Amino acid sequence: MRVLGIEGTAWAASAAVFDAETDSVFIESDPYQPDSGGIHPREAAEHMGEAVPRVVEAALAHADGLAGGRDGIDAVAFSRGPGLGPCLRVVGTAARALAGALDVPLVGVNHMVAHLEIGRHGSGFDSPICLNASGANAHLLGYHDGRYRVLGETMDTGVGNAIDKFTRHVGWTHPGGPKVEAAAKDGGYVDLPYVVKGMDFSFSGITSAAKEAYDGGEAVEDVCFSLQEHVFGMLTEVSERALSLTGADELVLGGGVGQNARLREMLAEMCDERGAAFFAPEPRFLRDNAGMIAVLGARMFEAGDAIPIEESTVDPNFRPDRVPVTWRAEASETSVGGRNEAEEDGDPSASSDDLRGAEATVTVAGDRVEKRRLPKSYRHPELDARLRRERTVAEARLTSEARRAGVPTPLVRDVDLREATITFQRVGDADLAAALTAGRAAAVGRHLAALHRAGIVHGDPTTRNARVDLDGDRAVLIDFGLGYHAGHVEDHAMDLHVFEQSVEGTADDPERLVAAFEAAYADEGPDETLARLREIEGRGRYQ
């Protein structure tokens, strides 16, 4: 099996040859370098038009030196999306012409799924969670029910673009990421915003704060250091939350920002602490490249996923969760079932008395549950201490306030801020994730409506953060550590989005469960919240 791949979603014109027999990948790339600022779509497309023929010729010349020459090429694969439309159209045209000239089938590849699959290919992992961190993108993917599901994603800008906005502000040329990494080596800590919403995240606030800190006289080295610590801390935290939600114990990294040594260090340390395996591909497979397109293209071709020329249109908004994953065995699946672990609050029905979740150790003793937020060695000590204290205070206060608003929550029995520890009343028979029904999803919808009427945002209402009784539809909300007071429809709609994302990423029949959840919320919640939820869903990077 030999496949020629072509990549050109944004800035890198690239062609590759993947030889499955020898598991070797030849890559030739010609990146676009803007004179100033970020990527200009028209200029990038002009670059593609000039560079794609050159890199394809280099790939064909390499194929000529292999057994069978270019006649040994079995298929042409190309990046169909997501990306910049003008660039994708150049690559699509080239791929169609080349497939016709070689008289071989054409395979259209999702660029972001290729980032995941090249990590899976290189690591040998069975069913990893993937953190994609690149210029225009940032999201978490996990495999479930025949597709890669988006478990979390940026609600505004991609991680690389967020960093580039700061470097343009200080006058540095594109790309900014390597310059921030170099400057950070001589920097110290400065407080910046840290925004995690379930497994989603936002970078616009931290970028603005970094600019203000620089304008206010903070040394650029200090701002760069802190920008990395906060942004990469957020990405590492949501990666751990995804591992905890799904029960996966493998994580792969994708995207050009993954070349940053500090991000890789944080992810590796987090995985080591929780006993998970971590893999980051070599740098040539992290930045945009045709090698990953060719490798996934070969898998798709073997599975019968070649497409007719007339159906090979590109899609700038090609979401990874729209790709039927036909090249994997159904037995290989990220699942929330059959595991003895908990989200932050743990699962007191499990057999062990000491449970490790995403951010806490939970100890169950009779009718008492003690939750202690553990220090995270991957986070800067000052940032870690701040988050542990803030979240412990928020959880204790809002758990009690929610109860007074009529929402079932555990009683708070004791709080120790020095140890970031809370002792709760034990509630429920199991996590909602382990016993998710339409009636219980509806109960959560009613509870969130009551919270929002009281001006409370839960912040992290995943299926791991509700406890249920197995003999009825009663649900108890737990883990208010990311909660806060807000009466704004945007914050309320984000609560709904977080819950639905956790259902869609893990449940076998998410549509029915989400419908029950939304119907119950609509009966009691503010009318405008569901309308804003639809706006948020359309805001995702790949809609």
Nearest CA-CA partner of 527 in 517, 518, 516, 536: 518
Residue 17 identity: V
Query: What are residue 66's phi and psi, to 5 degrees?
Result: -95, 165
460 is catalytic: yes
At residue 309, the pLDDT reads 87
At residue 36, the pLDDT reads 60
Query: How many Å is the Cα radius of gyration of the chain?
Result: 24
At residue 537, the pLDDT reads 85
3-class SS of residue 289? coil
At residue 427, the pLDDT reads 95
Nearest CA-CA partner of 406 in 449, 465, 369, 462: 449
Instruction: Give the pLDDT band of residue 506 (cuts 50, 70, 90).
Output: confident
DSSP 8-state symbol, 541:
T
At residue 210, the pLDDT reads 97
At residue 353, the pLDDT reads 54
At residue 542, the pLDDT reads 41
Give yes or no for residue 447 having a pLDDT over 80.
Answer: yes
| Fold matches, 2-118+285-322 and 124-280 | yes
Identify the CATH class of 124-280.
Answer: alpha beta
Q: Which of 136-145, 355-364, 406-415, 487-496 has the lowest mean pLDDT?
A: 355-364
By percentage, how much of the chain surpasses pLDDT 70? 93
The set of residues, in sequence order, having a beta carbon less than 8 Å from that of 433 and lying 6+ positions away, is: 245, 336, 462, 463, 464, 502, 506
Nearest CA-CA partner of 148 in 188, 193, 117, 107: 117
At residue 336, the pLDDT reads 39
Give yes or no for residue 330 having a pLDDT over 80.
Answer: no
Instruction: Give the pLDDT band of residue 250 (cuts 50, 70, 90).
Output: very high
Say how far residue 466 (Cα) sits from the centre of its chain: 22
**CATH topology (fold) of 2-118+285-322:** Nucleotidyltransferase; domain 5 (3.30.420)
Give yes or no for residue 339 having a pLDDT over 70.
Answer: no
* List 249, 305, 345, 460, catalytic entry: 460
**Which residue has better confidence, 338 or 419?**
419
The DSSP annotation for 399-417 comes to HHHHHHTT---PPEEEEET
Cis peptide bond N-terminal to 175, omega within 30? yes
Find the Cα–Cα–Cα–Cα dihedral 317, 321, 322, 325, rounded to 10°.
130
Nearest CA-CA partner of 407 in 355, 358, 453, 338: 453
At residue 481, the pLDDT reads 95
**Which residue has better confidence, 348 or 8?**
8
Mind listing the pLDDT tens digit for each residue in 452-466?
999 999 999 999 999
**Which residue has better confidence, 335 or 284?**
284
- The CATH number given to 336-543 is 1.10.510.10
Mind listing the pLDDT tens digit for each residue in 253-273?
999 999 999 999 999 999 999
**Which residue has better confidence, 153 or 350?**
153
Q: Do the beta carbons of residue 211 and residue 175 sit within 8 Å?
A: no
Residue 201's H or E segment, with its range, is strand 200-201
Mean pLDDT across the chain: 91
Give yes or no for residue 105 having a pLDDT over 80.
Answer: yes
At residue 243, the pLDDT reads 94
Sign of CA dihedral 390, 395, 400, 401: positive
Mind listing the pLDDT tens digit for each residue in 54-84?
999 999 999 999 999 999 999 999 999 999 9
The CA-to-CA distance between both ends of the chain, in Å, stands at 34
Give yes or no for residue 383 having a pLDDT over 60.
Answer: yes
Going from the C-alpha of 353 to that of each of 276, 347, 415, the distances in angstroms are 21, 10, 20
Query: What are residue 197's phi and psi, to 5 degrees?
Result: -125, 90
Instruction: Give the pLDDT band of residue 35 (cuts 50, 70, 90).
Output: low
Boundaries of every domain in the chain: 2-118+285-322, 124-280, 336-543
Give yes or no for residue 354 having a pLDDT over 80.
Answer: no
Residues 131-156 have a mean pLDDT of: 89
The DSSP annotation for 440-462 comes to HHHHHHHHHHHHHHTTEE-S---
Q: Taking the CB of residue 523, how many other CB atoms lie within 10 A of it?
A: 11
Give yes or no for residue 346 having a pLDDT over 90.
Answer: no
Instruction: Give the pLDDT band of residue 114 (cuts 50, 70, 90).
Output: very high
Give yes or no for residue 538 having a pLDDT over 90.
Answer: no
What's the rounded Cα separation, in Å, for the pair 270 and 377? 8
Instruction: Give the pLDDT band of residue 289 (cuts 50, 70, 90).
Output: very high
Give yes or no for residue 343 having a pLDDT over 50.
Answer: no
What's the rounded Cα separation, in Å, for the pair 130 and 144? 13
What's the rounded Cα separation, in Å, for the pair 236 and 193? 16
Say how far residue 218 (Cα) sits from the centre of its chain: 31
By percentage, how much of the chain surpasses pLDDT 90? 78
The set of residues, in sequence order, having a beta carbon less than 8 Å from that of 23 and lying 6+ positions away, is: none
Q: Which of 70-79, 128-137, 219-228, 382-391 has the lowest mean pLDDT?
A: 128-137
Instruction: Give the pLDDT band of residue 38 (cuts 50, 70, 90).
Output: low
3-class SS of residue 148? strand
Residue 478 identity: I
What's the rounded Cα separation, in Å, for the pair 239 and 236? 5
Give yes or no for residue 352 having a pLDDT over 50.
Answer: no
